[in-house]
């Protein structure tokens, strides 16, 4: 298991108060873990802070499984610049 997977499991365990030992890539965030939309946003915000990255707006709606979170972190090697308010 790589560092991204460990950190994702740590975040989910802390947020949801669940044991992540049985998590697989296919574990459903909403169906199996019962996460609501606010918790999904919280996960993305925590990932952005921990990895010093900014993901595109609405990315939380694309995350269906634990594996989707791993893939997001693996595919996002560079930060996305924040849009400047103008």
Residue 10, domain CATH: 1.10.1200.10
Domain ranges, residue 42? 3-16+25-75
User: What is the percent of the chain where pLDDT is above 70?
Assistant: 86
> Would residue 84 count as lying in a domain?
no
> Would residue 86 count as lying in a domain?
no
| 84 three-state secondary structure | coil
C-alpha to C-alpha distance for 14 and 18, rounded to whole angstroms: 8
User: What is the percent of the chain where pLDDT is above 90?
Assistant: 69
> Would residue 80 count as lying in a domain?
no
As a whole number, mean pLDDT of residues 60-71 equals 94
The confidence band for 76, taking pLDDT boundaries of 50, 70 and 90, is: low
The confidence band for 3, taking pLDDT boundaries of 50, 70 and 90, is: confident
Q: Total domain count for the chain?
A: 1
pLDDT > 80? residue 84: no
The CA distances from residue 3 to 46, 50, 84, 85, in Å, are 15, 12, 32, 34
CB 59 within 8 A of CB 53: no
């Amino acid at each position: 298991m790589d560092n991204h997977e460990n950190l994702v499991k740590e975040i989910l365990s802390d947020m949801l108060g669940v044991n992540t030992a049985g998590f697989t890539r296919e574990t459903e965030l909403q169906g199996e873990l019962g996460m609501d939309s606010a918790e999904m946003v919280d996960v993305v915000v925590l990932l952005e802070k921990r990895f010093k990255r900014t993901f595109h707006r609405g990315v939380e709606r694309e995350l269906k499984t634990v594996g989707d979170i791993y893939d997001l972190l693996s595919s996002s090697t560079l930060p996305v610049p924040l849009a400047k308010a103008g």
